[in-house]
Structure 1
């Protein structure tokens, strides 16, 4: 069966399980009743895992497109333990994205946990502890855990519903989960919504671009780790500039514009070039006519931005060529980039 989970998060989950098991009520000298409960919980876990495995396999073979909610969560609903699926939906309505690694945990399957990004202050933490639930934050991985007193999914669901009532409402989940599992999931599967399908293609293109840059930069440093005059001014190696915007970046620099950053934005569907420069109003008007956004802040720092029609390097490069052709030559040398990254680069390679 195909699985999207990375070993990185699995290692963190295993470590959390190990630590929690040490402090588990069942670990303080297992008496007969606790040992019996542990056996029942293990049987219950195995049954749940078997059902989940079958459902995931069926879902992937039948309908590998994900819904809007599954896009935000970064997992098919079938990838969650069946008894958690309703809880996951309800928590999403309060603004929480739950990781699909949630569910049974611990050496003896004695732990129930949900992993996510929780807004937990001391007031909420105290309320959780009153219902027997602990908040854990290990190396950036947050979780809520408890030790079931019964080997019953109904009992477990009731406790999670209590947790649901305690957690503050952050509003409907709108921001996609950024954990590694979720990112891998979105690159692998196709959403139902056409707009999300398009966005997924840009996510894949950005991922491929990052990999390409990593390979090119490693090769460059092995062959020649000394930056030239232009690279010193830019504060980076040419190979660090994303290929689809590299020529536009260098063209604007040679026209006298100080560029700090270019390429994919936080939203992979958008492209931008930004730096310490300003454009004349008539140039801005020309760019706006071809669907380009130009924003300048009160300090005179400018961003040129557009949304490509397709996730295609050659077509994005062509658009940048059209943009740079409309920007006039200043007939002066561009000032060096003064970002911290650029200054650190020059200091490292002086």
Structure 2
């Protein structure tokens, strides 16, 4: 009997099909990027698909240029989570049969805009026609050696956990836009957060230069899911402190109206293109100076716990999961409701 495909479970059996060779520092399941050791340093590669009908198009917040920008942004975000210096991009597009040249040019103009922002050349890709639009990117990065990289499986117990910037704007602005679709201020916020997120490339490269970070990953599925993934890859657990999770003023304002803790929005879904790292406690001063935010610590054992004041609770499975078969907006409401039901204080 066949079983339904769960993309999040695929790495467990893909590693058996494609075991890492001697020159592979991080293969399937070990990191979001593939990392190969070469005589000239480390070669870091990643690939990411973009939903052809992302929520920013469904809500009328952007045009097809956003697809190109998001393809670049999400792939560079993967490199940010590894500390690699972006070197080149490849972009593949399957256009819907009957699509116009103008529509394809809009997508690629978005690619050019985003790639030019970080000075990363687009060196190739592929173009096809099919049943629906499908867009993917391949990002190539480099590092002088593995000590300059944040490899997801290298975290150890007793380290601090840091996040690169405020989280939750993508999730909160989406729900705010659905609540009040005609509010110009909300639509401006949602357009900025959903259609134009900016990966912190410079901050990642700065951290890599410090050579203080042990492990890291980008926040593609939400703080809880991606920190949990890092912990599983490293064979440890972690404790998050809700008082330390950074959120913007707009997230705080919206959360107060909804009677939900502001940190819940970044906990449950990604889309903000931030990243997390673990580092020894001796590196606190240096990471704080670099603009990182300390949000918790790694611990022996397994699983995640959430500390809210004096209350410590095991953290349930949260974050994006394709197996739920929910739209992005449905999943956002569902997960935020789960956190609300946990009864944590909202301030």
Does TM-score exceed 0.5, indicating one fold? Answer: no
- Which structure is richer in relative contact order (CA contacts within 8 A, separation 6 or more)? 2
Please identify which structure carries the higher helix content.
Answer: 1
* TM bracket, shorter-chain basis: under 0.3
Larger radius of gyration: 1
TM-score normalised per structure 1:
0.20
